[in-house]
Amino acid sequence: MTKAKVTFQKALEIIESFPEEQRESLIEVLKHRLVEERRDRLARSIQEAREEFRRGEFKRGTVDEVLRELSK
């Protein structure tokens, strides 16, 4: 299956043509997927940190510095 490029504006127009219930469902699906993506990124960061720690490549710092590094 080929994927056609859709502009953001065109996507909005398509979504606005959906019935209200479908739009609400779409919002919930998107929110859930965003949460899952963030959870996956965090899990990868934790795994990378554990691997660095095992290799002795960890960095020391304040909580703020660590959080800033994790959010990259």
**pLDDT, tens digit, for every residue of 5-44?**
889 999 999 999 999 999 999 999 999 999 999 999 999 9
> Could you tell me the pTM of the whole model?
0.63
What was the pLDDT predicted at 22?
98
CA-to-CA separations, 66 to 6, 11, 44, 59, in angstroms, rounded: 38, 38, 15, 9
Q: Which residue has the higher pLDDT, 34 or 58?
A: 34
d(CA 17, CA 6) in angstroms, rounded, equals: 15
Confidence at 2, pLDDT banded by 50, 70, 90? low
Residue 63 confidence (pLDDT) above 60: yes
